[in-house]
Chains A and B, each alone.
Chain A
Amino acid sequence: MFRTNLAIGLISAAIIAFQLVLMQILSYIQWYHFAYMIISVALLGFGAAGTFLTVFRKKLQRNYALIFPLLLFITGILMSIVVIIANTETVRFDSLLIFHDFRYAGRLVATYFIFFLPFFTGALAIGMSFLKFAGKIGKIYFSNLVGSGIGGIIALLLMQFVLPQQLPLIIAVIALAGGFVSFPKNAGKLLQSVALVSIVVLPAVLFIPYKLKPSEYKDISKTLLLPDATVEYEKSSPYGLVQVVSSPVLRYAPGVSLGYRGTFSVQKAVFNNGNWNGFLIPATDREETSILDFTPQSLPYQIAKNEKVLILDAATGENVALALSHNVTEIVATEANAAIFSLLQHSFATYDQVKLRHTLSRTFLVSDTSGYQLIELPVIGSFFGNSGLNAVESHFELSIEAFHDMWDRLADNGMISVSCWMDYPVRNAYRLLAVIDRLLKEKKIKHPEKHIIAIRSWCAVAFFVNKSEFSRNQEIQAQQFCNDMMFDPLLMPGSTAIDTGSFNVLQDTSFFRNIKRLLSSEEEKNAFFKEYPYRIQPVTDNRPFFFQHIRWSGIQQVISSFRKGGLPFLELGYLLVLFTFVQILFIAGFFIIVPLFFKRWKSKDKFRVFFYFSGIGLAYMFVEIVFIQHFTFYFGQAIYAAAASISMLLIASGLGSYYSVFLQITKKILFLIPIIIGVVLLIYSFLLPTVLSLTIGVALPLKIFISIVLTGIPGFLLGIPFPAGIKYLSEKRQADIPRAWAFNGYFSVISTALATIIAVEAGYVLLLLIAGVTYALAGLSYSRQKN
């Protein structure tokens, strides 16, 4: 039994690690949205395995000793080769071309299927064990959950040191180890042959020279087409693959004034997961950044003396360089991405006045107590206006609460500087202004218009919010700056009129009317929010999706515009999640639910089994997603927090599962445990954000302890319902177990995308509440004696 438990732990670790690695790989070769696809593919594997078990239960059970290790070997072999197959010319898809060439949709399906295979075989091995040892499910499930938790940690550690394309092979070894651990003494020829093949295939894969090829439309692909472009530096990290590229024609001048007549120095570009991340500021330019003085972001240095400056999300440090060139005496800069942070450290190591902090900007703001003359955010969106790509990414630094935190960190004469690229249709500029307007209202500022300056360049809008009123002198200096730089003032403190500009004319003047509406009465503003085809209301910590602008009513319009061949990137992020959800609903339904109808299900407890196992499958992922968000904010380290919260939750659930072994499982237990979970989640939905924000500033060891306690309590409880349910069925009606597992799998599959949709539409608080209610309803299915 120990060997089986160990093998289950190893295959579970391999599956989770492989899932994380595939997410990393697809984020590099495509875009990060495919992380959802991988989660769904993995869960689909589990669901389909459940269905397969239902249909072939007896045969599989009879040959368990042989089939279990066989599946582990096959999983290992598949893990080592599927990425190579998906990366070949004939299979590789390009998400951008899916909308233009139907063949690529076929390739996407093929990729989906290829990635599905190792999850299916691995999950089948686990499912067989659940069935075989249903009476001891608590221990098996314990191994499964703890193995999964450790697998997550292994993947993150590996990502730190190994390049993405080399990772699948290492993880395949873990799966194979499971095969060898469970290798029976009387192994037949088939098993011996497969084991031998695995021993041959894995080292062979090591010698297959392959390199992951990112989409030709990714920034790095285009940059590498430039003359003499070479990758000079590569560093893998859980945040992505960071690459530094040099070429004699790479220049840096983001949105520089048309009045600039100097030369643009050639620099090295930095990419994270193939996406543009910034330039390495050359040593010679760090103190004399004349180009950046020709951008709207330099206005605060033209109209005020800044001694202490906070630069949030500094990336490769262009704003740090700008501050240095203006002799700022203390510059604090934050950056969360570890690999980018090390580049930043390298660039500014010799400057005593620069203090770098490796954390999320928001986490830093909450725990810091200093007063700054200037707080600067990076330019929001992207030059191409494809900010919709980040639609379902949380941006806590742009919520209304974040602006409150920034305001509280300002010195009396301090200023917040925030700019955005102009996007069409305009969304980011409106949303930023709406946030600023709300901030000033909530701070009860008497004359808000006297605290805002906004200017426009040919491609960007910059907003400056001062804690005290802007002086007349500052206004004149700002006007002069605009004139010199060929920028246009948009909002000036001495006037309530909107300047339509003379240097940068807009053919569509509705922009100015809309800016006016955003600054008018509450009724007018709310009417504008309702009428505008996109969501532009300020975002909150509960729904921190700054770049999610799409409305349900607008989806049809976006889809119809795809047919005309345009806008695939506009708001694509959210649409892809919706698309994934619908696709998974059908595919998972087809693979998991439909086959169940081909085998007659004779059971008295049909509905009970369905509601119980589907309910707990659905709600577990909801809890996981909420916890990831909260602990990301709490620790300031997105990836590590995600991994730690997932691993802690899984390990605590494992312990809960182990505990269930000692429970006498009755209907009452199946009723009570989910109800208790429901109540705990209800309490958490209201108290968790408060507890975390109150303790965010405490020392790290205490923070870790708090997070273990906060994750451990629900995690432990969440680990009980599934093994308890299976154990109950094993005693009452074992034939229902594969179906129970299939239902659980199906609802876990759809819950990943569904959780994101609920979070975007209703917020994290409601998502956790829904999880609680779902658990309670699952428990209620065992509340009465009869269906």
Chain B
Amino acid sequence: MKLRIAFILALVAALFAPAAAGAQDAARIHLIHGIPDTAVDVAAGGDVVIPGFNFGDTQDLSGFAGTTLPGVQVLLEGTDTVAIDIGDLPIPASGNITAIAHLDAEGTPTVSIFSNDVSEIAAGQGRITVRHTAAAPAVDILADGAVAFSNVPNGEEGGLDLPAGTISAEVVPTGETEPVVIGPAPLPIGEGSSLIVYAVGSLEGGSLTVLTETIDGLGAVPALVNAGNSPVSSSNPLPFLLIAGFVIASLGVAGTRRTATVRS
């Protein structure tokens, strides 16, 4: 019972904690359920708002941004048993935030609130972030066999931008090669996209697994399109094939110069 209450507390704490104010135009507030085998309902104003909130479920609470939910209660799933009476609950007005209810290193339910990196990603690259939210000791996070982040404790994260493609990711206890916490697993690095991986569950309990979250549309766009440096050659437009023929004929002369200038 205590545990369940602890989890529920964690859950509502996630809702309640003030967001780090970001420069975002609109808030994006997601809530992930990251504790295996524990289910609840969340109610407001006497009626259920989030029914059957289960492990792995994700809810978008952005619609509540900047508002206050009245009379929030957390119920044991499928019952009208009020586990905790929260009262009015203010929701942050801005930021790109993910709250995840998860186990801490010792296996006690807790909650971490992460502010997601939505800075621009260079063209051709993607972003990978790994968050340690499992009941397990501090870990090393390996990308393609090499340690990318060392000694990451529960509740912390490591992230970097990589060329788009697929990497092999593995999570192991710090300084060890086993037991393997996660992987090795192929992870897609999407161009202009951010992949967030949560290690969840319990190492000791054998329930380790991963949850993921993606954020798209972070790629850089061209700063400028400079598609010409001279006036058109004639007011009477030449047929395209004639132009092409002229260009091909002059390739021997102008080829080197053209190549250089195209890259300028």
A and B assemble together: no
Interface residues of B (CB under 8 A from A): none
